């Protein structure tokens, strides 16, 4: 089973924030492949489905970002997910807006949600799909920037970016990481 965990913050206040792009990618993927993500358990909402005969788990932690590891750890243990089959989708300040990039293991890059997952799982040998949100304007605190909604120009491009990210996950599941990296980097 492959597991795709999208990161974000719960609640309507954060729903459209840059930090919630991981949730939005999982939502787009679920919509495109008709996977219901509505079961509530272990501080998360999740759903399962099939993609090219591969069983897939989609999960969104309902903790705040810096506690994402709690829900991820419970989901990983409940479904017996190996780290090599875990894909975490999250926003990335250091990646230009709209870029998507897979990363194999490594550090957290300053992302509190990823840090929480690494600490909770006791390792970092999972894949990440990073979705670029770009850097904040000069003088703006990055912590404030990630909690703001996308501006009008970004919003106009966002639907295409979400679809591209969802498509990259499909390629990852169907054809493997090398094919996904070659096609989407």
Identify the CATH number of the domain in which residue 59 sits.
Answer: 3.40.50.1470
Three-state SS at 67 = helix
Q: What is the mean pLDDT of residues 148-163?
A: 93
* Residue 93: both structure tokens together: 């300040």
- pLDDT value, residue 65: 85
- Residue 105: band (very low, low, confident or very high) from pLDDT cuts 50, 70, 90: confident
CA triplet 120, 124, 130: central angle to 5 degrees? 105
Three-state SS at 111 = coil
Q: The domain containing residue 66 runs over which residues?
A: 2-184
The string of pLDDT tens digits covering residues 117-138 is: 889 988 888 999 999 999 998 9
Residue with token string 């990055």: 142
- pLDDT value, residue 107: 74
Q: How many domains are contained in the chain?
A: 1
Pairing verdict, β 39-41 and 100-104: unpaired
The string of pLDDT tens digits covering residues 25-80 is: 999 999 999 999 999 998 999 999 999 888 999 999 999 888 888 999 999 999 99
The residues annotated as belonging to the active site are 19
CA gap 69, 46 in Å, rounded: 15
- Residue 4: band (very low, low, confident or very high) from pLDDT cuts 50, 70, 90: very high
- pLDDT value, residue 111: 74
Which residues lie across from 100 on neighbouring strands? 131
CA gap 113, 110 in Å, rounded: 9
- pLDDT value, residue 110: 65
- pLDDT value, residue 114: 84
- Alpha helix stretches (DSSP H) within the chain: 21-32, 68-79, 112-121, 142-146, 152-175, 177-184
């Amino acid at each position: 089973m492959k597991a795709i965990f999208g990161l974000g913050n719960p609640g309507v206040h954060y729903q459209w924030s840059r930090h919630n792009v991981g949730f939005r990618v999982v939502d787009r993927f679920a919509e495109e492949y008709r996977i219901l993500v509505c079961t509530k358990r272990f501080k998360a909402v999740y759903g399962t489905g099939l993609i090219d005969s591969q069983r897939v788990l989609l999960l969104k932690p309902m903790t705040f970002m810096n506690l994402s590891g709690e829900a991820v750890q419970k989901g990983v243990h409940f479904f017996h997910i190996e780290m090599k089959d875990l894909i975490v989708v999250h926003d990335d300040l250091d990646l230009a807006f709209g870029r998507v990039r897979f990363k194999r293991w490594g550090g957290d890059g300053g992302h509190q949600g990823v840090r929480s997952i690494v600490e909770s799982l006791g390792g970092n040998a999972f894949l990440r799909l990073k979705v670029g949100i770009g850097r904040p304007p000069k003088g703006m605190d990055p912590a404030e920037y990630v909690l703001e909604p996308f501006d009008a120009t970004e919003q106009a491009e966002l639907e295409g970016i979400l679809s591209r990210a969802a498509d990259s996950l499909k390629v990852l599941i169907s054809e493997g990481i090398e094919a996904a990296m070659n096609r989407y980097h």
